[in-house]
């Protein structure tokens, strides 16, 4: 990071701490993106807050643990953490069974980037923040490659329930269906869409609804308590899902099977995850377990599916027809890019496009902790998760030892295989004993 000299020491330390987590804030190359990068930090964190955040552990921790680690009395530390939680830069999670609270530093995504735009007005200057976020995330590809550069990403697509026939429905698992996830949620919140709210301040928001982002379970509890969203019942949430399908929006959920924390209803024009696919060809979203299939005998070549696809994965190609002078247009789906959202099948009026099971579905982590471990492993950050370098001298030693071992070519090569990686993740899950954040 050759340009860090322009930042105060507190912000340099904060960046180092963020870079040890599952998603960091790498320094971009372009001057415009660097300016946005610096602005984001200075808007969200005072120097004092940056210094405090830089000392927070990787895993969620209790107030008592944080107090001992930082040498700050609990009665002094708690209001400081509360103020940071009100800004969304720290998350305080209340365990639904024990009622105990654990604090952790919010990552950029899904985290403090989103919280900046979940309220219309607060202590954050919205237009300035929107411009800084745009400059940083779109000024070059440094941040996009940080978030979407591994096999495991933060979000997964959910197929539109309406595209599944009666034959498929009995075999669809609850965690694959948006409606079932909502029905099983213990708490639901509704908040502004971060992406469209940001786009509004940049004068390029589309006409999709802005208040249709859902928090679920422990995620909804945080958003409601801290004023980022309002509580909603299941009937309203299901209506929002139905409205999103009618508008050809994509359901994107937390990339976990259990205890999902959010479902967003995303458009291809504003959503950062979807534009990372269409503009940068990065795997921004874990695909659903379904993919489109076309009955060419029924297809009229109208191109509605191609025009509706939020990531431009469907092209219309000329098909030679016997006994006819003119070619027929037919859809061709790029299955390597397709996320299996079902927008194409929902928009097809002749029902020529249907959704069918993928021959091999991509892996979905069981829990938020497993996803965190997989992302850390893929990005070379697992030592920070297993042994927090800021906890003690012993942890620093073990952190360095594991980092050295993981960097050895034979181990690095072995960890690239899913069989070895899965075993490694299982061992790591046993050693990481703390609140499951998802």
Q: Provide the pLDDT for residue 376.
A: 87
Q: Max Cα separation, the chain?
A: 85
Domain 291-356, CATH: 3.30.70.20
Could you tell me the two tokens for 178? 């948006």
Q: Provide the pLDDT for residue 415.
A: 64
DSSP assignments along 345-379, one per residue: HHH-SSS-EEEEE-SSPPP--SSHHHHHHHHHHHT
| ∠ Cα 164 166 171 (to 5°) | 75
DSSP collapsed to 3 states, 22-51? CCCCCCCCCHHHHHHHHHHHHHHCCHHHHH
- Whole-angstrom CA distances from 100 to 56, 97, 189, 206, 239 are 18, 8, 21, 41, 33
Q: Which residues have C-beta within 8 Å of that of residue 242, sequence separation ≥ 6?
A: none
Q: Provide the pLDDT for residue 307.
A: 98
Is the pTM above the cut of 0.75? Answer: yes
- Domain residue extents for the chain: 4-90+116-146, 149-280, 291-356, 368-431
Q: How far apart are CA 192 and CA 370, in angstroms?
A: 28
Q: Burial level of 211, CB count in 10 A (0-12/13-18/19+)? A: middle
Q: Provide the pLDDT for residue 97.
A: 83
Going residue by residue through the chain (438 aa), what tens digit of pLDDT does each one get?
Answer: 445 557 999 999 999 999 999 899 999 999 999 999 999 999 999 999 999 999 999 889 999 999 999 999 999 999 999 999 999 999 999 988 888 999 999 999 999 999 999 998 888 999 999 999 999 999 999 999 999 989 999 999 999 999 987 666 667 889 999 999 999 999 999 999 999 999 999 999 999 999 999 999 999 999 999 999 999 999 999 999 999 999 999 999 999 999 999 999 999 999 999 999 999 999 999 999 999 999 999 999 999 999 999 999 999 999 887 778 888 899 999 999 999 999 999 999 999 999 999 999 999 999 999 999 899 888 888 778 776 756 666 666 556 656 666 666 766 666 667 766 777 788 777 766 544 444
């Amino acid at each position: 990071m050759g340009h860090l000299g322009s930042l105060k020491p507190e912000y340099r330390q904060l960046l180092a701490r963020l870079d040890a987590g599952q998603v960091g804030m790498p320094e971009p190359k372009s001057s415009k993106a660097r300016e946005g990068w610096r602005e984001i930090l200075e808007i969200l964190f005072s120097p004092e807050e940056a210094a405090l955040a830089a000392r927070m552990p990787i895993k969620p921790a209790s107030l008592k643990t944080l107090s001992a680690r930082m040498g700050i009395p609990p009665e002094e530390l708690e209001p400081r953490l509360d103020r940071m939680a009100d800004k969304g830069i720290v998350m305080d999670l209340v365990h639904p069974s024990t009622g105990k609270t654990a604090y952790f530093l919010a990552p950029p995504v899904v985290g403090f980037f989103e919280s900046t735009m979940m309220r219309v007005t607060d202590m954050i200057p919205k237009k300035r923040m929107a411009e800084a976020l745009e400059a940083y995330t779109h000024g070059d590809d440094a941040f996009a490659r940080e978030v979407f550069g591994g096999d495991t990403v933060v979000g997964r697509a959910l197929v539109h329930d309406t595209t599944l026939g009666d034959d498929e429905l009995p075999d669809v698992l609850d965690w694959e269906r948006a409606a079932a996830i909502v029905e099983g949620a213990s708490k639901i919140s509704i908040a502004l869409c971060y992406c469209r709210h940001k786009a509004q301040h940049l004068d390029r928001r589309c006409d999709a609804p802005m208040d249709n982002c859902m928090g679920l379970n422990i995620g909804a509890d945080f958003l409601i308590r801290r004023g980022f969203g309002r509580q909603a019942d299941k009937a309203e949430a299901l209506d929002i899902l139905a409205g999103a399908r009618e508008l050809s929006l994509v359901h994107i959920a937390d990339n976990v099977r259990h205890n999902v924390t959010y479902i967003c209803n995303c458009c291809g024009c504003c959503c950062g995850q979807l534009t990372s696919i269409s503009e940068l060809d990065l795997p921004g979203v874990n695909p659903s377990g379904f993919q489109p299939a076309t009955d060419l005998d029924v297809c009229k070549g109208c191109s509605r599916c191609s025009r509706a696809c939020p990531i431009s994965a469907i092209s219309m190609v000329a098909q030679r027809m016997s006994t006819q002078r003119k070619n027929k247009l037919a859809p061709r789906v790029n299955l390597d890019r397709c996320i299996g959202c079902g927008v194409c099948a929902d928009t097809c009026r002749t029902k020529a496009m249907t959704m069918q099971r993928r021959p091999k579905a991509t892996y979905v982590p069981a829990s938020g902790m497993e996803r965190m471990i997989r992302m850390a492993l893929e990005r070379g950050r697992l030592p920070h998760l297993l042994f927090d370098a800021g906890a003690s001298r012993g942890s620093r030693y073990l952190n360095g030892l594991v980092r050295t071992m993981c960097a050895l070519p034979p181990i690095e090569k072995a960890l690239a295989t899913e069989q070895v990686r899965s075993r490694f993740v299982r061992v790591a899950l046993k050693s990481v004993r703390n609140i499951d954040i998802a």
